[in-house]
Amino acid sequence: MESLERLHRQLDSLDELRTVVRTMKALSAASIRQYEQAVTALSGYYRTIEQGLQAVFREMEPPAPAAGQKRSAQRSAAIVFGSDHGLCGRFNEDIASCTLEHMDTKPAPREDRLILAVGARVVASLEQQGQKIEADFPAPGSAARITAAVEEILLQVDAWREQAGVHSVHLFYNRHSSGRGYRPTEIELLPIDLRRFHRLRAAPWPSRSLPAFSMEREVLLSRLLHQYLFVSIFRACAESQASEHASRLAAMQSAERNLDERLEEVTLSFRRARQNAITSELLDVVTGFEAITTGSNQG
C-alpha cells in the first residue's frame, strides 16, 4: 500500500507540473505574438524616418568621412538584451558569449568597456565570464513597456558620450527566428554612418509631390537621427523579448514531452502495483478460506 500511495503522489505531482507547463506554453505563445506585432508596426515607422532622411539629404552634399581616430583611443560600449527569468535554455549564455567574443576583438581591455545589460539573467551570465557591468535595467514585461525602457537606455548612452568619451556603441540581442527560435545578432548603433543615409536620395520618391520642410535642416536631421536610434533599440528589445519567449516555448514543449513519457511510466507502474495488491488480497482471501475449510473438515 505504501508503494501505491507513493506512486499516486507521483502521478498527482506530474499532473500538476504538466498543467504548469501547458500554462507557460500558452503564455509564451501569446507573448511571442505581441512582440512580433510590435516589430511589424515599427517597420512602418522606420520607413517614415527613412523618407524624412531622404528628404533632408536630397539637396545636400555627401557627408565627409569621419576624422580618423586611433582605435586605441576610442572607447567602446555595448547594450546587451537578455531576460529576467529562466526556463529559456541557453538564451542568456549565448548572447553573453556573443557579446564578449565581439568585444574582445576591440583593442580596449575588458575593464575599460562600458556594458549596459537589460535583464538580471544576462547580467549574471556576463559577470560569470568576468565582465563588469556598468549599468543594468530590468527587461520590459510587455510590449507596452518597451518605450520607457528605450528612453532610459538613450539617456544612459547620452551620458556615456558626454561624460565617458564613448565613441562606438553596439547592440547585442537574440533575434527571433522561426527555425532555431533565435540567433545572436550584433549591430553598430554608433557612430552613425551618414553616408549610408545619404544614398537614400537616389531612391525614387513614393509620390508625385516632392518633399519639403520648413524647419532648419540641421535641427530636423538631428531629430530624425534621434528617432533612428530609438527605433533601432526598440526593435532590438522587441526581437529579444520575442526570442526569449520562443526559447521558453521550445523548452516547455520539450519538458511536456518528458513529462508525458514519465507520466506514462508512472501510470504503468501504478497499475502494476495496484494489480499486484489486488492479487495479493485475493490470495489472502483464498488462503484464509482454504484454512477455514480445512479446519472445519478436520473438526
Q: Which residues of 80-92 are buried (b: 16+ CB within 10 A; e: fewer)?
A: bbbbbeeebbebb
Claim: this prediction has a pTM higher than 0.85: no
The arithmetic mean of pLDDT across residues 2-6, rounded, is 74
The arithmetic mean of pLDDT across residues 121-137, rounded, is 95
Beta carbons within 8 Å of 297's beta carbon, 6+ residues apart: none
Residues paired with 174 in a beta bridge: 184
What is the pLDDT at residue 72? 45
Coil, strand or helix at 288:
helix
The residue ranking higher by pLDDT, 126 or 108, is 126
DSSP string covering 53-65: HHHHHTTSPPPPP
Distance CA 231, CA 228 (A): 5
Cβ proximity of 136 and 123 under 8 Å: yes
The residue type of 28 is S
What is the pLDDT at residue 64? 62
Distance CA 80, CA 170 (A): 9
| Residue count (the chain) | 299
Per-residue pLDDT tens over the stretch 250-288: 889 888 899 889 988 888 888 888 888 788 878 877 777
Distance CA 182, CA 242 (A): 9
What is the pLDDT at residue 61? 67
Per-residue pLDDT tens over the stretch 20-46: 888 888 888 888 888 988 888 888 888
What is the pLDDT at residue 69? 46
C-alpha triplet 115, 117, 121: angle, nearest 5°: 135
Distance CA 142, CA 217 (A): 36
Distance CA 171, CA 221 (A): 22
If residue 87 lies in a helix (H) or strand (E), which one and from where to where? none
Q: Indicate whether 19 belongs to any domain.
A: no
The residue ranking higher by pLDDT, 209 or 49, is 49
Residue 19, CA atoms < 13 Å, CB-side half-sphere:
6
Q: Indicate whether 267 belongs to any domain.
A: no
Distance CA 280, CA 117 (A): 63
Domain around 59: 30-63+72-251
Per-residue pLDDT tens over the stretch 135-189: 999 999 899 999 999 999 999 999 999 999 898 999 999 998 765 678 999 999 9
Query: 181-190 and 135-137: which strand pairing?
Result: unpaired
Looking up residue 90, the CATH number of its domain turns out to be: 3.40.1380.10
Residue with cell 549599468: 135
Domains in the chain, number: 1
Q: Indicate whether 120 belongs to any domain.
A: yes
Q: Indicate whether 297 belongs to any domain.
A: no
Per-residue pLDDT tens over the stretch 52-108: 888 887 767 666 655 544 444 568 999 999 999 988 889 999 999 999 999 988 877
Per-residue pLDDT tens over the stretch 187-200: 999 998 877 777 77
In this structure, is the dihedral angle defined by the CA atoms of residues 191, 194, 200 and 202, taken in order, positive or negative? negative
Q: Indicate whether 104 belongs to any domain.
A: yes
Q: Indicate whether 199 belongs to any domain.
A: yes
Distance CA 143, CA 234 (A): 10
Q: Indicate whether 209 belongs to any domain.
A: yes
What is the pLDDT at residue 189? 93
